[in-house]
Amino acid sequence: MNAESPIRVAGTAVVLRDGRAGLESLLLRRPASGSFAGAWVFPGGRVDPGDTAEGMGEADAARNAAVRETAEEAGIRIGDLTLFSRWVPPEETPVKFRTWFFLARDLGDRVRSNPGRSRRPPG
């Protein structure tokens, strides 16, 4: 990694719930413009200053970001977050996010997507 392209940290929630036909996960569609335009993604985003505290590790800050971003993007609360994976992008990637993925339990709230995003229906 060089000084021109620092790596940022992000947290992503793989939100799971029991559905009629089995396990379901929440995907949100990115806006038609901007990064990853039109892609279906798990809720999440970069770690902001409010996600960290003195002495807190990177994974805990990413967990806080995943919870906050899920609330912002989908309007739902999540619980029982369990570290699932950490992804580090290849060196040649122009915008770098070291992303921590957490499995999370849907707490039963109704999804209310932000404007510009839509929810992928289960099934």
How much is the pLDDT for 64? 98
Query: Given a cut of 80, is residue 114 above it in pLDDT?
Result: no
Structure tokens at 88: 């580090």
Does 57 reside within a domain? yes
- pTM recorded for the entire structure: 0.85
CA distance 24 to 29: 16
Question: Per the domain annotation, does 122 fall within a domain?
Answer: no
Domain range for 48 is: 7-30+39-110
pLDDT at 33: 84
Residue 10's H or E segment, with its range, is strand 7-19
Q: Which tens digit of pLDDT belongs to each residue from 10-63?
A: 999 999 999 999 999 999 998 888 878 889 999 999 999 999 999 999 999 999
Contact 64, 46 (CB under 8 A): no
Residue 115 lies in a domain: no
CATH number at residue 20: 3.90.79.10
- Confirm whether 116 is domain-assigned: no
Give the pLDDT confidence of 63-97 residue by residue, as tens digits.
Answer: 999 999 999 999 999 999 999 999 998 988 887 89
pLDDT at position 118 is: 54
Q: Per-residue confidence at 4, pLDDT binned at 50, 70, 90? A: low
Would you say residue 123 lies in a domain? no
Sign of CA dihedral 53, 3, 1, 38: positive
* Domain count within the chain: 1
Within a domain: residue 119? no
Question: Kind and range of the H or E element at 86?
Answer: strand 78-87
- Is 55 a member of any domain? yes
Q: Is residue 12 part of a domain?
A: yes
Q: Supply the pLDDT for residue 123.
A: 47
